[in-house]
Amino acid sequence: MTSLPPRIPDRQLGLVIDLDICVGCHACAVNCKEWNSGGHSAPLTDRDPYGADPTGVWFNRIHSFEVDAQEEGKRGRTVHFPKSCLHCADAPCVTVCPTGASYKREEDGIVLVNADWCIGCKLCSWACPYGAREFDTDDGVMKKCTLCVDKIYNENLPPESRVPACVATCPVGARHFGDLGDPDSGVSKLVAARGGYDLMPEQRCRPTNKYLPPRRREDKDLRDDSGTTARLTPAAENIDGVFLRWVDRLLSR
Amino acid sequence: MDGDPASGRDGEVVDTSPMVADEVKHTTCYMCACRCGIRVHLKNGKIRYIEGNPDHPINRGVLCAKGSAGIMQHYSPARLRKPLLRVRDRGAGEFREIEWDEALSIAADWLRRIRKTDPKRLAFFTGRDQSQALTGWWASQFGTPNYAAHGGFCSVNMAAAGIYTIGGAFWEFGEPDWEHTRYFMMFGVAEDHDSNPIKMGIGRLKTLGKAKFVSVNPVRTGYSAVADEWIGVRPGTDGLLVFSLIHELLKADRIDWEFLVRYTNASWLVIQDRGADDDGLFARDENGNPLCFDRARNRLANALDAELQPALVGRRTLTDGRTAVPAFELLARRYMDDRYAPDAVAATIGVPSATIRRIAAELAHAAFAQQIELDIPWTDWAGREHDRMIGRPVSMHAMRGISAHSNGFHTCRAIHLLQILLGSIDCPGGFRYKAPFPKPILPAPPPAAGTGRPDTPLDGAPLGFPARPEDLLVDATGAPKRIDKAFSWEYPLAIHGMMHMAIHNAWKADPYAIDTLFLYMANMSWNSAMNVPGTIHALTDRDPATGEYRIPHIIYSDAYYSEMVPYADLVLPDTTYLERWDCISLLDRPIGSAEGPADSIRQPVLEPDRDVRPFQDVLLDLGARIGLPGMTRRDGSPQYPGGYADYMINHERGPGIGPLAGWRGHDGRSHGRGEPNPEQLNRYIENGCFWHDPLPADRLYFKHANLGYLNYAQDMGWIANNRQIVLQPYSETLQRFRLAARGHGEIQPPQRERDRIEEHFDPLPTWHAPFEESAVNGTQFPFHALTQRPMHMYHSWGSQNAWLRQISARNRLYVARATAERLGVADDDWVWVISHHGRVKTQVRLMEGVNPDTVWTWNAIGKRKGVWGLDPDAPEATRGFLLNHIISELLPPRADGYRYSNSDPVTGQAAWFDLRVRIEKCRPGETGETEPAFGSIAAPPGMPRTPRIMRYGEDLRPPFSGRTGGRHREFIGNRAEVMATMPGVAAGASRAKPDEDGDDDS
């Protein structure tokens, strides 16, 4: 099968996705779709786009689900979870590929598919534990997130546009992009500070992309000095008493 | 396979620096009402890519899912292609194509005849129009009072409550101070309005991590999902929750006294003389100035003077011997009453009383223990200098969930009252006005109805701000003058009109019959209708005596084959938003922010490939054809032969004031005021299609009382003088209507309206149970039913978009899991949702994060078969459904049989969210497709066949560039906020603060 680069690339470009602030708006998914529709893997074919079962190729999809409260004093929550290729260091989609079409770049760690070599056997999509591959039935080849490889280095674009489409467009700023192989990079520090984690580490794929967990929210409830739930203390025993406090108050306009 | 094949990396040379576009053009998005700046990349004459404009003050480079799907909107197969004339019955969808000359002649003939006889027989309503400064002016020049856009069924409760209370409003006229706030409370916001600014703000606020974000909303999706605390309130009870918070704050004496005396009418003395014609009005001196009691001099004084020590409590004797008390005392006594205690309201609201008490404590803690001080000297309205700006960092935002109830006006006023008591209006960390707001209370003249004389314009604008009963549009008997009954005694402050009643009333000839209904961009036979079956009946019903339609003529302009098109007699096809000029004007719905005013344009980035014309060009053309003043020169030729672009440059509302504020004057150096500049649009294009005037630091806060800001606003022509704008928690305006209901004054309400006016024109915020809830049997209809908009869609445009419909092509009814188990309903079961008005069939989806008494669904996904370029078996038509089918435009009959509109009694706001329903499981055999179905509609001539396979972009792949490209740039979202909280993260690329963008190419 296909080999990974002989050593882990020094530079490992990837995404850091903040689940604490993602509101599930699908901006990243749709902007990805439009960039890549005319990009490296173009087109991202849509079947039956105006019919009974519209389905197309998307490199980035958002899943929303509810998490019930597991412990006393914690609240249930709704989680929005964007998912795309995680550009793993030990990418099983690469090693499983019988033709060498699926590969990981030495210079930046981006996992790509060479469409000329892909025979559409779908082994890679079976091997990927994240379900991050997208088969274009019309082209008969596998497609996937390219980390906008035709955008992030593109000198025909103004500098501020040279970031993955999903990152540049995210309205809440929940998506970050950088070199996760460099411990001094901003994204690495962000991951360290926020407890960023690997998705499904037990799969041993060593994903490059990281997720930042939702922060604990219950701590923001105000408690009084004794630790019980805060409440205001009435200023007097009854309304007339409160008014009495106000009668002599001197206030300047 | 044997061996180890070569890696693809040996076989592929990736082009990392392809030439993406031939050309990049700036314009303004129109995929929703947010109006973000976009850069459109064009290649081979097609759209390659749309991205946010990083320089634009609204979106700073971000773009939402809707905006990113603009390509599919532009190339939609549902686009109309040529003017159409109906050839068979309304609703059949059978048209013949006609030329523009014929279409415009027909329209001009109808319009000319109406104007020559009785101008009000034209009803002109314009939906989600972003050119209301033009369309409203057009109606005024035509001479019909029957004009409005969609505000009456959207957000007029928010606009009216805000403008009548604080001189600004949530959403378009205000925003939270995301950077400095320590407590952000959001009431009932569906995830669409002000889409990107709110998302950017929440992202910044949460990244900084210093604030608590509380979402009060029956449904926990979207923004509520990232809130620190979700309060799943029972719909329509937010007002009680707010009163209870006020109750706690008042009783604990945790309110901002200085703010109240400096910036509000809380100290103004209210006459207490039950039965008198000025009872409840402010006591005034001989010059009409309001009075307060000055404790410094122990006497009555002009409350507008600067050097006073006004009393906020205590009964005073006026010079005529009567009694008056400060407005504050009235409000304090009301809300400290035990009926607003947390324990008294908790069950009704569906929120534990301990939670209410804690939220009150948290508000007080944030406002007073976390006071913000910015070292920015400023000068107040009286010329007094202050060395700092002191803020109460509590901010609030509210929208549809408050607005779409029949108690929404007062609930929104209640929220503003809470903000006022906390002193958190336009201060650091609080709610902030977006320039050109605040405006005086009230900002503009009352509405004009005209004389009714033929060929005569109105003597003002059709929409305005009534201040007293004399300003209503009613005849001598008190009957409405407008077809929608806006500004009548039934809905006196209907400042956005009542589009949701126009078709029903026109059909019923109540108050009179019309000749022509002229609609633009409003899907009034479908997802913008209350009562879809009834609306379709009204559009197709004929007078048996004559055989003619009861609404004789319908002209409609839309870019797409929507459900409304088949009901039109004459269809004027509009362009897409990428094929037109537009102006987002300060005269209309401004895009300014708290940081400064802004306006913008759309420019055509593509030529239409169909025989369509921009509606605004058509409107000016029609105006010239029928000789409307302002649109026609003396010789009869068009005033604006260059169409809307010509108007945008050359039209003047007042001397030097035109649709666009930027680059005015002959040299293009004036802003705000200045003579028309023929080069103005080029200046806009050079600047990315927007104009923005950032305010200096000393004008950023306290705009209602900040001399520097008030002088600036006066210079710009937004306000007539630089006087302080005094906030009005006590509304004398409302009391004036109440006094009329008590029999005072010349202008008297009909007998039937007196009690209703007395109850709802309370000068202090009040709460009543939503009308439908009170009118129907709670046992028969035990649930509230709501809609929310998905963040990736906006009205009916979104759900026919080839990409967006892959995210959601149908909707279900969401039910709380515990409730569903009680009803014996499981996921995907088919159920009937039944209201007092009708029933609709759908499948169910269970969830946790919803108020147990509430069911809800996504809005505007359901489609009718045959329209929008979708196949008849599209899920939108077979399984998508609308709650609109079962929402009545009328309330159930009162005891005397009269049926009011299903609307707020103050503003006429459509009460979509008052809907009450029960759920019944479908019987076997009833499942499969949604009902009611309404039948399929034919497609007009010339519509393209839709593709089975779409390979958009295939031909846009660039040829191999041979270039290797540069280095990557790190990008940290909200980098400034990350840097502020996380040591070691360096400056570099981000979006929310473009000024701090560095180039970290290394």
Q: Which of B50, B36, B51, B401 is nearest to B200 (CA)?
A: B36
Q: Which of B670, B646, B637, B638 is nearest to B656 (CA)?
A: B670
Q: Do A138 and B951 touch (CB under 8 A)?
A: yes
- Give the gap in angstroms from C-alpha A130 to the nearest C-alpha of chain B: 19
Exposed / middle / buried, residue B286 (Cβ in 10 Å: 0-12, 13-18, 19+): exposed
Q: How would residue B450 be classed by pLDDT, with cut points 50, 70 and 90?
A: confident
Q: Which of B330, B408, B336, B349 is nearest to B157 (CA)?
A: B408
What is the biggest distance separating any 2 CA atoms in chain A, rounded to whole angstroms?
88
Place of tokens 């197309």: A56
Report the b/e string of B798-817 with b at 16+ CB within 10 A.
bbbbbbbbbbbbbbbbbbbb
Mean pLDDT of chain B: 95
Question: Which among B17, B260, B362 has CB closest to A156?
Answer: B17
Q: What percent of chain B has pLDDT over 70?
A: 98
Mean pLDDT for the stretch of residues A230-236: 96
Instruction: Among A103-107, A174-178, B267-271, B795-799, name the one with the lowest average pLDDT.
Output: B795-799
| Sign of torsion over alpha carbons B281, B283, B284, B286 | positive
User: Regarding predicted confidence, which is higher, B995 or B274?
Assistant: B274
Mean pLDDT for the stretch of residues B85-107: 97
Q: Do B354 and A250 touch (CB under 8 A)?
A: no
Mean pLDDT for the stretch of residues B417-444: 96
Strands (E), A43-98: 46-47, 55-56, 61-67, 77-83
The answer to whether residue B965 scores a pLDDT higher than 60 is yes
| Residue B8: per-residue pLDDT | 61
Contacts of B1001 in chain A (CB under 8 A): 159
The answer to whether residue A125 scores a pLDDT higher than 80 is yes
The answer to whether residue B524 scores a pLDDT higher than 60 is yes
The answer to whether residue B995 scores a pLDDT higher than 60 is no
- Give the gap in angstroms from C-alpha A210 to the nearest C-alpha of chain B: 13
Q: How would residue B998 be classed by pLDDT, with cut points 50, 70 and 90?
A: very low
Q: Which residue of A has its CA nearest to B879?
A: A52
Q: Do A58 and B984 touch (CB under 8 A)?
A: no
Q: Which of B204, B213, B180 is nearest to B428 (CA)?
A: B180
Residue of A30, A136, A161, A175 to mutate, testing the B interface (most B Cβ within 10 Å of its Cβ): A30
Helix runs in chain A, H state only: 27-37, 92-95, 123-127, 165-169, 186-194, 239-247
Answer for the pair A179, B967: CB distance below 8 angstroms, yes or no. no
Task: Give tens-digit pLDDT for B359-406.
Answer: 999 999 999 999 999 999 999 999 999 999 999 999 999 999 999 999
Q: Do B223 and A33 touch (CB under 8 A)?
A: no
Exposed / middle / buried, residue A247 (Cβ in 10 Å: 0-12, 13-18, 19+): exposed
pTM of the shown model: 0.97
Q: Which of A108, A80, A92 is nearest to A211 (CA)?
A: A80
Answer for the pair A190, B972: CB distance below 8 angstroms, yes or no. yes
The answer to whether residue B997 scores a pLDDT higher than 50 is no
In angstroms, the CA B526 to CA B882 distance is 8
Q: Which of B211, B209, B175 is nearest to B195 (CA)?
A: B175
Q: Give B930's Cβ-side CA count (13 Å radius).
A: 31
Answer for the pair B241, B218: CB distance below 8 angstroms, yes or no. no
Q: Which residue of B has its CA nearest to A223?
A: B358
In angstroms, the CA B109 to CA B239 distance is 50
Question: Which among B226, B946, B949 has CB closest to A21?
Answer: B226
Task: Give tens-digit pLDDT for A73-95.
Answer: 778 889 999 999 999 999 999 99
Q: Do B336 and A221 touch (CB under 8 A)?
A: no
In angstroms, the CA B162 to CA B940 distance is 44
In angstroms, the CA B933 to CA B880 distance is 10
- Give the gap in angstroms from C-alpha A115 to the nearest C-alpha of chain B: 9
- Residues 64..103 of A with a Cβ closer than 8 Å to B: which? 64, 66, 68, 75-80, 94, 97-103
Q: Which of B109, B122, B152 is nearest to B912 (CA)?
A: B152
Task: Give tens-digit pLDDT for B113-130.
Answer: 999 999 999 999 998 888
- Give the gap in angstroms from C-alpha A59 to the nearest C-alpha of chain B: 13
Residue of B19, B848, B970, B1002 to mutate, testing the A interface (most A Cβ within 10 Å of its Cβ): B970
- Give the gap in angstroms from C-alpha A193 to the nearest C-alpha of chain B: 7
Q: Do B357 and A232 touch (CB under 8 A)?
A: yes
What ipTM was predicted for this assembly? Answer: 0.97
Q: Do A3 and B7 touch (CB under 8 A)?
A: yes
Tokens, residue B71 = 């390509």
Q: How many other C-beta atoms can be found within 10 angstroms of the C-beta atom of residue B260?
A: 24
The answer to whether residue B2 scores a pLDDT higher than 80 is no
Q: How many other C-beta atoms can be found within 10 angstroms of the C-beta atom of residue B825?
A: 19
| Residue B982: per-residue pLDDT | 84
The answer to whether residue B836 scores a pLDDT higher than 80 is yes
| Residue B6: per-residue pLDDT | 59
Question: Which among A48, A78, A177 has CB closest to B849?
Answer: A78
Q: Do B968 and A152 touch (CB under 8 A)?
A: yes
Q: Which of B416, B447, B411 is nearest to B433 (CA)?
A: B416
Q: How many other C-beta atoms can be found within 10 angstroms of the C-beta atom of residue B19?
A: 14
Q: How would residue A2 be classed by pLDDT, with cut points 50, 70 and 90?
A: confident
Torsional class of B668: left (φ above 0), alpha (ψ -120 to 50), beta (otherwise): left
Mean pLDDT for the stretch of residues B894-917: 96
In angstroms, the CA B834 to CA B856 distance is 13
Residue of A19, A153, A172 to mutate, testing the B interface (most B Cβ within 10 Å of its Cβ): A172
Contacts A–B by Cβ distance under 8 A: 428
Mean pLDDT for the stretch of residues B48-71: 97
Task: Give tens-digit pLDDT for B253-287.
Answer: 999 999 999 999 999 999 999 999 999 999 999 99
Q: Do B254 and A185 touch (CB under 8 A)?
A: no
Q: Do B968 and A165 touch (CB under 8 A)?
A: no
| Residue A75: per-residue pLDDT | 83
Output DSSP code: residue A232: P
What phi and psi values does residue B162 have, to the nearest 5 degrees? -70, -50
Q: How would residue B85 be classed by pLDDT, with cut points 50, 70 and 90?
A: very high
Q: Do A50 and B870 touch (CB under 8 A)?
A: yes
Answer for the pair B280, B736: CB distance below 8 angstroms, yes or no. no
Contacts of B989 in chain A (CB under 8 A): 159-160, 163
Q: Do B946 and A50 touch (CB under 8 A)?
A: yes
In angstroms, the CA B526 to CA B529 distance is 5
In angstroms, the CA B783 to CA B235 distance is 10
Place of tokens 């300014």: B592
Question: Which among B8, B262, B308 has CB closest to A101?
Answer: B8
- Give the gap in angstroms from C-alpha B503 to the nearest C-alpha of chain A: 31
Q: Do A172 and B809 touch (CB under 8 A)?
A: no
Mean pLDDT for the stretch of residues A63-72: 82
Sequence-distant (≥ 6) Cβ neighbours of residue A134 within 8 angstroms? A44, A57, A58, A59, A142, A143, A144
Contacts of A80 in chain B (CB under 8 A): 225
In angstroms, the CA B91 to CA B176 distance is 46
Answer for the pair B218, B854: CB distance below 8 angstroms, yes or no. yes
In angstroms, the CA B555 to CA B712 distance is 43
| Sign of torsion over alpha carbons B59, B62, B64, B69 | positive
- Give the gap in angstroms from C-alpha B107 to the nearest C-alpha of chain A: 33
- Residues 178..237 of A with a Cβ closer than 8 Å to B: which? 178-179, 185-187, 189-190, 193, 215, 217, 220-222, 229-235
Q: Which residue of A has its CA nearest to B228?
A: A217
The answer to whether residue B986 scores a pLDDT higher than 80 is no
Report the b/e string of B381-418 with b at 16+ CB within 10 A.
beeeeeeebbbbbbbbbbbbbbbbbbbbbbbbbbbbbb
Helix runs in B669-727, H state only: 680-686, 707-716
| Residue B779: per-residue pLDDT | 92
Answer for the pair B502, B483: CB distance below 8 angstroms, yes or no. yes
Answer for the pair B516, B122: CB distance below 8 angstroms, yes or no. yes
Judge whether A170 is closer than 8 Å to chain B, CB to CB: yes
- Give the gap in angstroms from C-alpha B350 to the nearest C-alpha of chain A: 17
